[in-house]
Structure 1
Amino acid sequence: MSDSGSRGETVSSAPPGWYPDQQRSERWWDGTRWTELRREALGRTEMFQTERTASLSLDERQRLVQLVIANAISTGWRLESVSATSAVLLRGRRPNHALHLVLTILSVGLWGVVWAVISVATVEQRMSVQIDHQGIVSWTDLTT
């Protein structure tokens, strides 16, 4: 994505290329904004359209992690943790079991049916994203 410069100008923080999105597909970043172009990802995603033979610096890898995080957050993911070259993202929420227990007790057990449906229907997805030294993004599903 882009960052604001010191005088308000926009400075691109990543080169144009295909970047992973949260749906295990890839989206085209034109160097200044996200386009509507998408393609299916193949598990490991090459960050650049051109082949890279040199390793990325730690600073470049950190910028790529921030780009992936920003894209994921803009589409409904939450950030759980982040390090220099990786992050853990969440989507969905777990039910508040303490609240549902209180409601079940107060409703003499009637709320238990609603609680059971909510518990089964509510899913939390957890994904780990890592950038290796060549700029390849790996997504790993951590949902148990």
Structure 2
Amino acid sequence: MSEQLSREQREEALEAAIAGYIRDGYQVTYRSATGATVAKGKPINHTLHLILTIATCTVWSFVWIALAIMAAAQNATYVLSVDAYGNVQAAKQ
């Protein structure tokens, strides 16, 4: 069994994992010494789509629904954590 790492070594392992996610287009939304949350995707401007839906007598609602479904499929959020041995785990939210 391997030995436990120091806090600095664990932070370095987490930082390396975060760097990989950033290269893949993710943004860090939360960061601590032993964990982070990274997210990818663009938010939908629901206010704009509501105005368009009202202005077009609900015709725009079909576009809005389609965009919301596609955005949900493309967006991803992961919670990263590092244990005492430097292993980084990623859990999809």
TM-score (ref. length: structure 2): 0.87
The equivalent of 2:69 in structure 1 is: 120
Q: Return the offset for 1:128.
A: 0.7
CA RMSD, Structure 1 to Structure 2 (Å): 1.4
Q: Percent identity?
A: 29
TM-score (ref. length: structure 1): 0.59
The equivalent of 2:90 in structure 1 is: 139
Identify which of 91, 102, 108 aligns with 2:51.
102
The 3-state SS of whatever aligns with 1:122 is helix
- Measured against aligned partners, the alpha-carbon deviations of 1:71-109 in whole angstroms (never above 9, x if no partner) come to 101111111101001111112233221111012122232
Asked if the contact 2:13/2:87 (under 8 Å) is kept, the reply is no
Q: How many residues align?
A: 91
The 3-state SS of whatever aligns with 2:4 is coil
- Structure with bigger strand share is 1
The equivalent of 2:27 in structure 1 is: 78
Q: Which runs of 5+ in 2 are unaligned?
A: none
- Measured against aligned partners, the alpha-carbon deviations of 1:48-91 in whole angstroms (never above 9, x if no partner) come to xxxx6211110111111111111101111111101001111112
- Alpha-carbon distance in 2 for matches of 1:97, 1:131: 36
- Measured against aligned partners, the alpha-carbon deviations of 1:1-29 in whole angstroms (never above 9, x if no partner) come to xxxxxxxxxxxxxxxxxxxxxxxxxxxxx
Asked if the contact 2:26/2:40 (under 8 Å) is kept, the reply is yes
- Alpha-carbon distance in 2 for matches of 1:97, 1:125: 19
1:92 is aligned to 2:92: no
- Alpha-carbon distance in 1 for matches of 2:15, 2:87: 14
1:58 is aligned to 2:2: no
Q: Return the offset for 1:110.
A: 2.1
